[in-house]
A = this chain, B = another copy of it.
Amino acid sequence: FFAASTVPLAKTDAWPKDVGILALEVYFPAQYVDQTELEKYDSVEAGKYTVGLGQTQMGFCSVQEDINSLCLTVVQRLMERTKLPWDNVGRLEVGTETIIDKSKAVKTVLMELFQDSGNTDIEGIDTTNACYGGTASLFNAANWVESSSWDGLRGTHMENAYDFYKPHLASEYPVVDGKLSILCYLRALDRCYAFYRKKIQNQWKQAGIERSFTLDDFQFMIFHTPFCKLVQKSVARLMFNDFLSANSDVQNSRYKGLEAFRDLKLEDTYFNKEVEKAFQKASLDTFNQKTKSSLNLSTLNGNTYTSSLYGCLASLLSQHTAQQLAGTRIGAFSYGSGLAASLFSIQVSQDATPGSPLDKLVSSVSDLPKRLASRKCVSPEEFSEVMLQREKYSHEVNFSPPGDINSLFPGTWYLEQVDGMHRRKYARRPL
């Protein structure tokens, strides 16, 4: 197991030179089995492992170790040996093919190590494909150092949490602690917004502008949407953030009627119903103007998990003209349980003329409302039946999924067959 540390030697608006590996840390288990002995024990011909495979000793892990513990060890050793301060890390990637949980990344567990330093603004997450994950991680880390993202204007918050996870590997269903998940989501939003504001205000300061960043600086705001009501709470929450960091003059003018909440702390108010209600009311116009149009797809289709935030983006784009969007800044909050979250902004280009990239982008999603309207409504009975079928067939072999392919939209790929070796074959319904 390895960790690669890549740092730039200089940072201008050109690529830093000589981005690379500055230290390596290798961990292996403290015990091994001799392969000549194992050949005898396994009753195979002498030399099968030692000559045929070129293997003389083989290390192995006991039940005391798993992918999380291995990564904890290697990251901590690397940090200790290089004496790199924990708050100097801006990116950490995990490449693995050993999965304990289908949803919660190993990276989130590693955030435990950074807890004392207070550093939670660390990009990078798990990357997987058999033995290729390590290389993909290395490439991603090096690209990040070379890109403008390095110390760029994104606010990220990652921590080790068990709010929603999938430890039952053979099941399609997660384990969810609903209340904790909402707390984690809103706390991550607070943290990401704080990081984001700090970075942008620092940048402004360097340009001679000294003022606070507020929600007003986003013309639109989109959010990861497990359910729509949480997004409305989130807009209110961001306004609460703005309110708490405003001076009393601004609190008295801009946030009239909310002064009673000025001595509250963010961390004490995640389930404070009065705060929620008051700021939801105060932010209603903001929500309606900046966010509501992004929720159309979620309202009509539900939680799409990983793609949720980008479904909101598509929804927003589909309900505005290129002219309305041109030059705006869209705030975007991405959240994945476990947890990993980022708040970043999408700067919409200025040019809205026909044939411009923006015009083409808007066109690419303009049929969204029409396509949503063309879906078939089925009864709850039929829906429940399909859910049962999904459970029944999820790990089936030697089968072709039942169902009429004409019920799919034209041009849709579908699972045609799973053979006895779990190999999956797909076909496409003609356009």
Contacts and interface: CB of A to CB of B under 8 A. Distances in A.
A60 B428 contact: no
Interface in A413-431: 413-415, 421-424, 426, 428
A30 B306 contact: no
Given A30-B408, A54-B228, A55-B227, A130 B307 contact: no
A13, A306, A364: which has the most chain B beta carbons within 10 Å? Answer: A306
A201 interface: no
Interface string A320-354: 00000000000000111111111010110100000
A17 to B, nearest CB: 10
Contact of A134 (B23, B57, B309): B309
A244 interface: no
A36 to B, nearest CB: 10
B317 A24 contact: yes
Interface in A59-79: 59-66, 68-70, 72-73, 76-77
A257 interface: no
Contacts of A298: 55
B129 A125 contact: yes
- Copies of the polypeptide in the assembly: 2
Contacts of A133: 125, 306, 336
Interface stretch (A145-153, A248-256, A260-268, A274-282): A145-153
A288 interface: no
A95 B379 CA distance: 31
Contacts of A20: 346-347, 349
Given A134-B306, A336-B129, A162 B413 contact: no
Interface stretch (A114-122, A206-214, A235-243, A399-407): A399-407
Given A33-B377, A69-B412, 12 more contacts: A20-B346, A26-B311, A30-B375, A32-B376, A52-B229, A62-B389, A63-B402, A64-B403, A69-B426, A131-B335, A143-B149, A169-B395
Interface in A270-306: 295, 297-302, 304-306
A188 B118 CA distance: 44
A306 B96 contact: yes
A132 B53 contact: no
B63 A403 contact: yes
Contact of A314 (B2, B42, B365, B378): B2
Interface string A67-102: 011101100110011100000000000011111111
B26 A300 contact: no
Interface string A378-395: 111111101101100101
A383 B140 CA distance: 37
A393 B65 CA distance: 11
Nearest to A177: B421
A259 interface: no
17 contacts: A21-B313, A26-B368, A29-B375, A32-B378, A54-B228, A59-B302, A62-B390, A95-B306, A102-B169, A107-B129, A108-B129, A131-B224, A131-B334, A134-B310, A139-B154, A140-B144, A167-B395
Given A379-B33, A422-B165, A422-B175, A24 B126 contact: no
Contacts of A300: 32, 56-57, 59
B125 A421 contact: no
A204 interface: no
Given A54-B229, A229-B53, A305-B98, A103 B129 contact: yes
Interface string A36-56: 011011100000000011111
